[in-house]
């Protein structure tokens, strides 16, 4: 079935694909480079930048100016926490919809997805006031709750599509084998769905990590994740390219590395289970 | 003993099983057979407790099990797809029901090893199902069923995913297993050969109704109606309507291919259309004019060619007669 | 598959998700609806008075509203066009055999992992800045006057930034779809005498329809509420040139403290999203069933 592809053709495709890949990746590459330059060098022309000296000064400055560690931990807690809670709520729900479908299941799924369509600004004011009145502004608990809710529909949807692929007979076998519902989900369904659950987990951690509406509106400093940390560079420090680059690199590096390591699961997850 | 009393099942408006009465004795090998969509799998799932009945009573060993969840019925089931747990080793698959029952690990181990010995799975206990062949998976599924020492085994078309040769040998294994365990087995299949070769008792189902219950040879010799006559036996029984049937005071007469002799002075005449040489036998499709196309079994060495004219005679006493209602006449 | 037991269990296990989402939808939305009928300024608490639909009247009748509405639509459509067309081309390219497929794929996915605030700041400063940005350096090298992207083409610049973030997503989904193309079907078509273009239009394109639908659906959900990119680059300006509905509501309620007006805007945004949603749901309802 495999046919020989001429090497010329392969070389042309290789050149084109690498060029596109490089162009798309270039902005990220550029901030990684600028982060290791001095402020004076960072604003020179690209060629001059490349051949200037390398330094860790900017990373040092960023550390001194703001507490990267705290924002990093906030990002971790917010994204991982909200995703785990959403999974705990969504696994049973997706089980129900995938294995005990009713006449309304499709409508219910569509409705869940439609809550995701509700623009956040529609509820910005009341959420802001509720948070203010309950003392949740700039608190991690409040933000975890919000991030859980905004990602819940996507988590349910993704798990549903993965669960649909698991043959119902296996769960019935477990039932015949005397498994309670809890054992059935815990020992049979969940281990079988590990790849799907992993994709869901990763994708939602990334979405939560990068969520930049509620995190910007509802935090100021104590609970502020990296999105807020970077937003604080919008001006006038934005003109300090090296520091901005160093801070940006630190903000995106964790997720970039996580993403690259788990590429396989992620590509599956990126398609939201909708494309096989 | 498993007794079904007026068991009904409907999905919405559709009555899949309008009402079935059936008694299954201890130690019996019962086969539910019928064309696809006849309700045989649904009936099995009702007994298993994987579906709710819409009416009637299912009792297992004298206890009303109609509303018991599957786990409480002490039945074990082997599924068509084997339904093995892909993330567990063979050992863990077989031990799963014991673990669910909270059995002591040493006893679990003993039973798993015992089952593995019976089923020749000893070398595969630490493999995953994905690394096994179809026949081995089938054995694991059976192993998972026997370790529980259930009241009865339920088999849902267990051989349909295997190739022809393996099917024959697994058929024998299951029969031998039944002889050594002497546990009740209920077996669902659409293949009448499996039914004939394995069953103590065959239940022929059609459109959710029982057409006939009996031993394989009873069904073969005296089918209760046209449906059973046509379904049991391979190749199919010849069914002849019209004036020839009227001669025997019936609406339809039936005669099996092996009960028609090729004889020069036979009453029926026809032209050979197709002859299939199996070696041991030769099956002839004979175009017999007003009688329709007849299938005739001849000896393996009989050489016939398309276009040859033959005369045939039904063996005396082997003709079956059916009335206008399709039922067999005495 | 189902017995009464499992059906009851299913309802029980479904209820937390449903109840939470229902609350999430109803409580804040109900409050927004209520606030939208009040004259309510955050700087003057306790002075709320009922004004009926007045807030809606003022919100819709400000020139910024229509600008924001059209900016929102242009932003969504612009990004969708770039990412879908670009995604198809890139996916077709990457579906060919070439050396280093894994690495190129990693490079292409990367922008998806970058948080919106970072990508917006990076593009704004390092690329689009009229003095020190790379585009300015390139222009100078070519002897052209540098172009101030964010002042003179703010919306287009934002579309470019957002499209860069979403292009990987579209590309990957379409690439996955391409790779799942039935090779035998392609070979059959080749035997039937279809040439490359015919195979592309009669087999590949229909096969991609479903994935394109998914791309459009998911991206629209996120694109309707683009916010951070505007906040850190243009603040909606100059004037209202890059204000979308989300940003307008934010500005009205939290920058001008006009909760009533902001709430009315929020409700309008919800209605707009619902119109789009109904339209999209129809579309995917048809395409996702299979």
Better pLDDT: B17 or A259: B17
Better pLDDT: B136 or C43: B136
Quick one: pLDDT at residue B28? 94
DSSP class of residue B253 equals: E
Quick one: pLDDT at residue B215? 94
Q: Is residue C142 predicted with pLDDT exceeding 90? A: no
Polymer length in residues for chain B: 330
- Which structural domain range is residue C74 located in? 34-39+49-289
Contacting residues of A for B76, CB less than 8 Å apart: 176-177
* Residue among C106, C125, C177 whose CB faces A260 most closely: C106
User: What residues contact residue C48 under an 8 Å CB cut-off, 6+ apart?
Assistant: C38, C39, C40
Cβ atoms within 10 Å of B256's Cβ, excluding its own = 23
Contacting residues of A for B79, CB less than 8 Å apart: 169, 172-173
In what helix (H) or strand (E) does residue B184 lie, and over which residues does it extend?
strand B184-189
Q: Is B68 on the interface with C (CB under 8 A)?
A: no
Chains touching A, CB cut-off 8 Å, 3+ pairs: B, C
Mean pLDDT of chain B: 90
Closest chain A C-alpha to B183 CA, distance in angstroms: 17
Quick one: pLDDT at residue C290? 43
CATH code at C74? 1.10.3720.10
Contact A162, A200 (CB under 8 A): yes
Q: Is B81 on the interface with A (CB under 8 A)?
A: yes
* Residue among C110, C115, C224 whose CB faces A25 most closely: C110
Q: Is C10 on the interface with A (CB under 8 A)?
A: yes
Q: Do B51 and C5 touch (CB under 8 A)?
A: no
* Residue among C35, C108, C140 whose CB faces A24 most closely: C108
Mean pLDDT of B28-52: 91
- Which residues in chain B (82-141) have CB-CB distances under 8 A to chain A? 83-88, 96-97, 100-101
Residue C231's nearest CA partner among A19, B167, A43, A230 is A230
CA gap C168, A218 in Å, rounded: 29
Could you state, in order of their start, the residue ranges of all structural domains in chain A? 7-60, 67-232
User: What residues contact residue C152 under an 8 Å CB cut-off, 6+ apart?
Assistant: none
B61: left (phi over 0), alpha (psi -120 to 50) or beta: left
Query: Would you state the structure tokens that stand for residue A21, as one six-digit string?
Result: 């890949």
Contact B275, B260 (CB under 8 A): no
This complex has an ipTM of 0.83
Residue C25: inside a domain: no
Q: Is A206 on the interface with C (CB under 8 A)?
A: yes
* Residue among A175, A180, A188 whose CB faces B85 most closely: A188
Considering chain C, what percentage of its residues have pLDDT values greater than 90?
Answer: 13
Q: Which residue has the tokens 């055999």?
A: C97
- DSSP lists the bridge partners of residue B299 as B281
Quick one: pLDDT at residue C284? 66
Q: Is residue B70 predicted with pLDDT exceeding 50? A: yes
Contacting residues of A for C262, CB less than 8 Å apart: 124-125
Mean pLDDT of chain C: 84
Q: Do C228 and A21 touch (CB under 8 A)?
A: no
Q: Is residue B29 predicted with pLDDT exceeding 70? A: yes
Q: Is residue C287 predicted with pLDDT exceeding 70? A: no
Instruction: Annotate B17-63 with DSSP letters as a single string.
Output: EEEEEEEE-TT-EEEEE-STTSSHHHHHHHHHTSS--SEEEEEETTE
Quick one: pLDDT at residue B244? 86
Contacting residues of A for B115, CB less than 8 Å apart: none
3-state helix, strand, coil in chain B (%, to 5): 30, 35, 35
Q: Do C2 and B51 touch (CB under 8 A)?
A: yes
Chain B interface test: which of C3, C4, C7 (most B C-beta within 10 Å): C3
- Count of domains for chain C: 1
- Which residues in chain B (145-184) have CB-CB distances under 8 A to chain A? 148
Quick one: pLDDT at residue A231? 80
The dihedrals phi and psi of A248, each to the nearest 5 degrees, come to -65, -45
Q: Is B83 on the interface with C (CB under 8 A)?
A: no
Indicate the range of A213-227, B35-49, B123-137 predicted with least confidence: A213-227
Q: Do A115 and C21 touch (CB under 8 A)?
A: yes
Closest chain B C-alpha to C285 CA, distance in angstroms: 25
CA-to-CA separations, A246 to A28, A34, A42, B296, in angstroms, rounded: 11, 7, 11, 89
Chain B interface test: which of A169, A173, A197 (most B C-beta within 10 Å): A173
The domains found in chain B, sorted by start residue, are 2-228 (3.40.50.300), 235-322 (2.40.50.140)
Task: Note the pLDDT tens digit of each residue in B270-307.
Answer: 999 888 888 888 899 999 888 889 999 988 777 888 88
Q: Is C159 on the interface with A (CB under 8 A)?
A: no
Better pLDDT: B5 or C198: B5
Contact C121, A230 (CB under 8 A): yes
Contacting residues of B for C5, CB less than 8 Å apart: 69
Q: Which residue has the tokens 């477990």?
A: A174
Closest chain C C-alpha to B191 CA, distance in angstroms: 24
Q: Is B48 on the interface with A (CB under 8 A)?
A: yes
Residue C96: inside a domain: yes
Q: Do B69 and A175 touch (CB under 8 A)?
A: yes
Cis peptide before A236 (omega within 30 of 0): yes
CA gap C61, C68 in Å, rounded: 12
CA gap A271, C197 in Å, rounded: 27
CA gap C94, C107 in Å, rounded: 12
Q: Do A213 and C225 touch (CB under 8 A)?
A: yes
Q: Name the CATH topology of A67-232.
A: MetI-like fold (1.10.3720)
Residue C27: inside a domain: no
Q: Do B100 and A183 touch (CB under 8 A)?
A: yes
Contacting residues of A for B70, CB less than 8 Å apart: 172, 175-176
Determine whether B58 is exposed, middle or buried from the number of CB atoms within 10 Å of its CB (0-12, 13-18, 19+): buried
Q: Do C1 and B50 touch (CB under 8 A)?
A: yes
Quick one: pLDDT at residue A1? 41
Quick one: pLDDT at residue B204? 94
User: What residues contact residue A67 under an 8 Å CB cut-off, 6+ apart?
Assistant: none
CA gap A128, A105 in Å, rounded: 33
Chain B interface test: which of A176, A182, A194 (most B C-beta within 10 Å): A176
Quick one: pLDDT at residue A271? 62
Contacting residues of B for A169, CB less than 8 Å apart: 79-81, 83
Q: How confident is the model at residue C1 (pLDDT cuts 50, 70, 90)?
A: very low
Q: Is residue C286 predicted with pLDDT exceeding 70? A: no
CA gap C130, C127 in Å, rounded: 8
- DSSP lists the bridge partners of residue A88 as none
Contact A273, A196 (CB under 8 A): yes
Chains touching C, CB cut-off 8 Å, 3+ pairs: A, B
Q: Do B81 and A188 touch (CB under 8 A)?
A: no
User: What residues contact residue B318 under an 8 Å CB cut-off, 6+ apart?
Assistant: B255, B256, B259
Angle between helices C154-179 and C63-95 (to 10 degrees): 30
Contacting residues of A for B77, CB less than 8 Å apart: 172-173, 176
Mean pLDDT of C250-265: 83
Q: Is the dihedral of CA A2, C176, C282, C198 positive or negative?
A: negative
Residue C44: inside a domain: no
DSSP class of residue C203 equals: I
Q: Is B55 on the interface with C (CB under 8 A)?
A: no
Residue C107's nearest CA partner among C90, C82, C122 is C90
C169 half-sphere exposure, CB direction, 13 A CA radius: 31
Q: Is B80 on the interface with A (CB under 8 A)?
A: yes
Quick one: pLDDT at residue C258? 82
CA gap B71, C103 in Å, rounded: 51
- DSSP lists the bridge partners of residue B4 as B22, B58
Quick one: pLDDT at residue B32? 95
Find the distance separating the first CA and the last CA of chain B, reported in whole Å. Answer: 32
pLDDT in single tens digits along all 276 residues of chain A: 456 667 888 888 899 999 999 999 999 998 898 888 887 777 777 777 777 888 888 888 888 777 888 888 899 999 999 999 999 999 999 988 888 888 788 888 878 877 777 777 778 878 888 888 888 888 888 889 999 998 898 899 888 888 888 888 898 899 888 888 888 888 998 888 888 888 888 888 988 888 888 888 888 877 888 888 888 776 665 568 888 888 889 888 888 888 877 777 776 666 655 554
Q: How confident is the model at residue B316 (pLDDT cuts 50, 70, 90)?
A: confident
């Amino acid at each position: 079935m495999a046919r020989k592809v001429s090497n010329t053709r392969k070389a042309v495709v290789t050149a084109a694909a690498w060029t596109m890949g490089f162009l798309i990746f270039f902005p990220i590459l550029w901030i990684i480079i600028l982060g290791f330059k001095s402020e004076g060098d960072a604003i020179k022309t690209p060629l001059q930048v490349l051949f200037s000296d390398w330094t860790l000064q900017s990373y040092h400055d960023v550390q001194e100016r703001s507490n990267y560690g705290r924002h990093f931990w906030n990002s971790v807690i917010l994204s991982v926490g909200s995703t785990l809670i959403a999974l705990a709520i969504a696994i049973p729900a997706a089980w129900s919809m995938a294995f005990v479908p009713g006449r309304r299941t499709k409508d219910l799924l569509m409705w869940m997805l439609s809550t995701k369509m509700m623009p956040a600004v529609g509820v910005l004011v009341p959420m802001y006031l509720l948070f203010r009145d309950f003392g949740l502004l700039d608190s991690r608990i409040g933000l975890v709750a919000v991030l859980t809710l905004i990602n819940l529909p996507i988590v349910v949807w993704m798990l549903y599509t993965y669960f649909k692929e698991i043959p119902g007979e296996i769960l019935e076998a477990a039932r015949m084998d005397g498994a309670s519902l809890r054992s059935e989900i815990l020992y049979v369904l969940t281990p079988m769905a590990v790849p799907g659950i992993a994709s869901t987990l990763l994708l939602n951690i990334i979405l939560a990590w990068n969520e930049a509406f509620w995190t910007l509106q509802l935090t100021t400093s104590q609970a502020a994740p990296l999105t807020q940390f970077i937003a604080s560079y919008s001006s006038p420090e934005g003109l300090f390219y090296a520091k901005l680059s160093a801070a940006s690199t630190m903000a995106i590096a964790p997720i970039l590395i996580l993403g690259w390591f788990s590429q396989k699961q992620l590509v599956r997850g990126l398609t939201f289970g909708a494309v096989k | 003993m498993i007794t079904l009393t007026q068991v009904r099942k409907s999905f919405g408006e559709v009555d899949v099983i309008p009402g079935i009465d059936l008694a299954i004795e201890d130690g019996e090998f019962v086969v539910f057979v019928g064309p696809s969509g006849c309700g045989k799998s649904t009936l099995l799932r009702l007994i298993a407790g994987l579906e709710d009945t819409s009416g009637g009573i299912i009792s297992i060993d004298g206890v009303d099990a109609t509303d018991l969840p599957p786990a409480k019925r002490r039945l074990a089931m082997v599924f068509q797809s084997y339904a093995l747990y892909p993330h567990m080793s063979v050992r863990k698959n077989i031990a799963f029901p014991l673990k669910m029952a909270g059995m002591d690990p040493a006893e679990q181990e003993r039973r798993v090893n015992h089952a593995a010995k019976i089923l020749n799975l000893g070398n595969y206990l630490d493999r995953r199902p994905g690394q096994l062949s179809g026949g081995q998976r089938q054995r694991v599924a059976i192993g998972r069923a026997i370790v529980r020492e259930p009241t009865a085994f339920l088999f849902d078309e267990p051989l349909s995913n295997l190739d022809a040769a393996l099917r024959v040998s697994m058929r024998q294994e299951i029969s031998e297993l039944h002889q050594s365990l002497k546990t009740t087995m209920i077996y669902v299949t659409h293949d009448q050969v499996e039914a004939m070769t394995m069953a103590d008792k065959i239940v022929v189902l059609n459109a959710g109704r029982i057409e006939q219950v009996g031993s394989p040879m009873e069904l073969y010799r005296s089918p209760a109606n046209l449906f059973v006559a046509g379904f049991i036996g391979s190749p199919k029984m010849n069914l002849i309507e019209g004036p020839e049937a009227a001669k025997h005071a019936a609406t339809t007469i039936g005669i099996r291919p092996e009960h028609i002799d090729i004889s020069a002075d036979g009453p029926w005449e026809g032209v050979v259309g197709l002859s299939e040489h199996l070696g041991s036998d030769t099956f002839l499709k004979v175009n017999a004019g007003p009688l329709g196309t007849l299938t005739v079994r001849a000896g393996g060495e009989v050489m016939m060619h398309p276009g040859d004219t033959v005369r045939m005679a039904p063996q005396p006493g082997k003709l079956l007669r059916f009335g206008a209602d399709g039922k067999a006449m005495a | 598959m189902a017995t009464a037991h499992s059906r009851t269990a299913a309802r029980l296990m479904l209820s937390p998700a449903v109840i939470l989402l229902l609350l999430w939808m109803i409580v804040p939305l109900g409050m927004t609806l209520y606030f939208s009928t009040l004259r309510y300024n955050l700087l003057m608490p306790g002075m709320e008075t009922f004004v009926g639909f007045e807030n809606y009247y003022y919100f819709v009748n400000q020139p910024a509203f229509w600008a924001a509405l059209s900016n929102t639509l242009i932003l969504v459509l612009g990004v969708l066009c770039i990412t879908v067309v670009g995604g198809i081309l890139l996916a077709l390219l990457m579906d060919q055999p070439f050396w280093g497929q894994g690495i190129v794929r990693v490079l292409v996915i990367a922008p998806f992992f970058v948080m919106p605030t970072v990508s917006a700041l990076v593009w704004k400063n390092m690329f689009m800045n009229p003095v020190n940005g790379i585009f300015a350096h390139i222009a100078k090298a070519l002897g052209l006057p540098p172009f101030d992207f964010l002042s003179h083409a703010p919306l287009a610049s934002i579309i470019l930034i957002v499209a860069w973030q979403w292009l990987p997503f579209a590309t990957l989904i379409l690439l996955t779809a391409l790779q799942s193309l039935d090779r035998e079907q392609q070979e059959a078509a080749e035997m039937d005498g279809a040439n490359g273009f015919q195979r592309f239009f009669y087999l590949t394109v229909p096969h991609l329809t479903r994935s394109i639908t998914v791309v459009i659906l998911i991206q629209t959900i996120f694109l309707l509420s683009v916010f951070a990119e505007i906040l850190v680059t243009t603040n909606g300006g100059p004037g209202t040139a890059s204000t979308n509905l989300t940003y307008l509501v934010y500005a009205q309620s939290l920058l001008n403290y006009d909760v009533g007006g902001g709430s009315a805007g929020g409700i309008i945004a919800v209605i707009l999203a619902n119109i789009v949603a109904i339209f999209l749901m129809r579309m995917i309802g048809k395409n996702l069933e299979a």
